Amino acid sequence: MSDHWAQVAETEGGREALRTELENVRRNLASVEEEYQKRCGEFEAAVAERDVVEQQAAVRRRDVERAVETTNTQLAAVRVELEAAHGRLEALQGLSCSETDFSMFGPHRPKIVGHSVKPHP
């Protein structure tokens, strides 16, 4: 019978060691799960922040595209005006000085329209 009691005592000792080890594993698992939850929260926050930054960048990109389009439109209009002014300048340069001196007419001086001189109404 002493063998029997020795086996029981040995079994009880093994069981206690397993309980202690199981508790250590449970604590470790709880710590790992806590760290996992923390990292998941950080990851979700980072993804949400990235989404906001991405949306802001898209809005800024559209604003810049519109500004470039507006600037190109304005540039085209200025080029047309510049070409027209250049044409008028060339026409005036082609006239002699006596033809372009209209100051003697005072407020009733003729208007230059395109490439021709029209009398004042």
Q: How many domains does the chain have?
A: 1
Provide the β-strand partners of residue 113: 116
Q: Which amino acid is at 120?
A: H
pLDDT score at 112? 58
- Across all residues in the chain, what is the average pLDDT? 85
Q: What is the pLDDT of residues 77-111, one digit of tens each?
A: 999 999 999 998 888 887 755 455 555 556 665 55
pLDDT over 70, % of the chain: 78
Segment 110-116 long-range contacts (CB within 8 Å, at least 24 positions apart): 112/88, 114/88, 115/87, 115/88, 115/91
Give the structural domain span for 10: 2-118
Give 121 or 62, the one with higher predicted confidence.
62
For residues 8-20, give the mean pLDDT: 86
Structure tokens at 28: 């470790």
pLDDT score at 114? 55
- Do 120 and 108 contact (CB within 8 A), yes or no? yes
With CA atoms as reference, report the closest residue to 46 among 35, 58, 54.
Answer: 54
